[in-house]
A and B are shown apart, each in its own frame.
Chain A
Amino acid sequence: MTYLLLSNLSKYYGNTLAVENFNLEVERGEFVSFLGPSGCGKTTTLRMVAGFEVPDQGNILLEGEDITYLAANQRMVGMVFQSYALFPNMNVADNVGFGLSVRKMPAEQIRQRVSEILKIVQLEDLQKRYPYQLSGGQQQRVALARALAIRPRVLLLDEPLSALDAKIRVELRAEIRRIQQELKITTVYVTHDQEEALSLSDRIVVMNKGRIEQIGTPFEIYNYPQTEFVASFIGQLNLIPVQVVDREGGLYRIGGQTIQVEQNHRTPLSSQPKLAIRPEEVKLGQVEGWNQLTALVRQVSFLGAIVRIWLEVEGVSLLLDVFNERKLVLPKVNEKVVISFPHHACWVL
């Protein structure tokens, strides 16, 4: 049986479509992310699961129980907000113990559970501090502990890291995943940051304009995007206009140069077909049996582990990423080079 089932959910605000025909099955213990640009309906969907919004259509089932219209405070669903939402009048221990004291748990037991959970988020020494005495990262850990203390059936997080500095963000990201695995808690995570979604999730739901574009593992989403939106929203993608030579045979032309595409994941050909290829799939130099193109070097930028090279092919720009090594020989600007990529690494949209 599916642990959490969202079936055919739709929600409108007046005439604004927020979410439409949303279908998703989440397994027990799974970490699922909603990823998409701002305004695509991620928060709205999450709030329907939390019980803060009622869908106009569809159902939500948790462990087989229909919770579509159940009050938020009856759902046993933990929620972490972007703004932390700690209770300013309570110290850390009281914040974390709030959900337990609401449930009339004996004080001694609350104290134990609070210490236990604060140990997991590594804040056991700060029990007596007030929220304003904590850094953003610490506040969000407290908020996470508070949501986890009630042992929720599902943990929901709405852009929990967006308000934090880059460094803390990456740290806490790893922490969230570790805690999730340790407690084996079913988690739905909302973000507009693809790196977050890719690094954290078992599966990603890519959304656009209130609809699901694709559901899959980070590997599937990145390597086998099913729509142009997914392909260009996640990761860097080169899109080069092509002329069709032989569609069935996978033959296309860029200017005067011909390329071969393995049509292993075809999408409907648009009126202006484009060759799609990730920058890291393109190599400098000739490789036997691969597609080859001649290109002009426009710019070389050294990013550390990766060197990004801006090329121009038949008047269209194309990115190429190489891993840095000490012995790497970098091409010069305005140099003419040959680039290669395998047939299976590219596709036509």
Chain B
Amino acid sequence: MSKPNTLWSWFWMIVGGLYFFLPLLATFEFSLKARKGVYSFLAYERVFADPLFLRTFIFSLEMAVFTALAGILLIFPTVYWIRLKLPQLRGLIEFVSMLPFVVPAIVLVFGLIRVFSGAPFFLTNTFAGTNILLIAAYVVLTMPYLYRSIDTGLQAIDVRTLTEAAQSLGAGWGTILFRVILPNVRVSILSGSFLAVATVMGEFTIASFLVGIRAFGPYMSLVGQNKTYESSSLAIISFALTWAFIGLIQLLNRGRVQTQIAGAH
């Protein structure tokens, strides 16, 4: 690489870094100002002291985990099958997977309520029913992330030959999917799930219409409207959690990633 090129890369990295970190720093600084005249963690203490914080956080985390699981169970076999047997349909499926980016969440949630609150479903009549509806909506909402990452993961391995090798050794579809293919796209599935979880944790529109203040998104919004400093500290907390999560996944996959990359060629 030539010198000017390196300089430019550094320049853009610094510009990008400032763009990213300055607002974060400002928010953090602001969140420390709850007590007049001195920096303190008062706002953070108040947030943690609020029982609603933990309750909504755990509720949304549960929803997020179920969303990721349901999404994987739905999308992984589908993408695998399309790569194996119907490669000509890939364009169409890719288009469908992008629809959630185009259809506004508000439209989605009204549609869901309209269809599933009446006969023969009556899903919104119970907590469990509403939760199921919420998860279903989130599966749709997070589909682009999961689809993309799983599809990219499958692209890196020779799906067809691995499948045939397993078949000739006597394996059925379950064995092939979960013992041969899945372990090789573990990293992509995890990173897709992570994006899905992060999306669900902060989601506002669908949650507020279906479950209201029981979810973390609406709770954060409520705090933001009423309590200035606490809302900044909440933003910082969720950011820290996100990063801890990324770090955890990186840690879990350190050995794995190497295996997969080296095994690809």
The chain A residues found within 8 Å of chain B, CB to CB, are 50-52, 71-79, 81, 83, 85-89, 98-99, 102-103, 130-132, 143, 146-147, 150
Contact = CB atoms under 8 A, between A and B. Distances in A.
Interface stretch (B45-53, B124-132, B167-175): B167-175
How big is the B interface, by class?
A: 20 to 34
Contact of A73 (B158, B168, B180): B168
A73 B168 CA distance: 5
A89 B170 contact: no
A81 B163 CA distance: 12
Contacts of A85: 158, 161-162, 164-165
A73 B171 contact: yes
B56 interface: no
12 contacts: A50-B168, A72-B168, A73-B167, A74-B170, A79-B164, A81-B165, A85-B165, A87-B166, A88-B259, A88-B263, A99-B171, A130-B259
A83 B183 contact: no
B89 interface: no
A89 B169 contact: no
Nearest to A150: B169
B199 interface: no
Given A130-B259, A132-B259, A87 B180 contact: yes
A50 B164 contact: yes
Contacts, number: 76
B209 to A, nearest CB: 42
Interface of B: 157-158, 161-162, 164-172, 175, 180, 183-184, 259-260, 262-264
7 cross-chain pairs, A with B, having the tightest CB-CB distances, nearest first: A99-B169, A88-B263, A89-B183, A132-B262, A79-B168, A85-B165, A132-B263
Contacts of B161: 81, 83, 85
Most buried by A among B157, B165, B167, B180: B165
A89 B259 contact: yes
Most buried by A among B161, B166, B168, B183: B168
Given A78-B168, A87-B180, 13 more contacts: A52-B164, A52-B167, A71-B167, A72-B164, A76-B170, A78-B169, A79-B164, A79-B168, A85-B165, A88-B264, A89-B184, A130-B259, A132-B262
Given A52-B164, A83-B161, A102 B263 contact: no
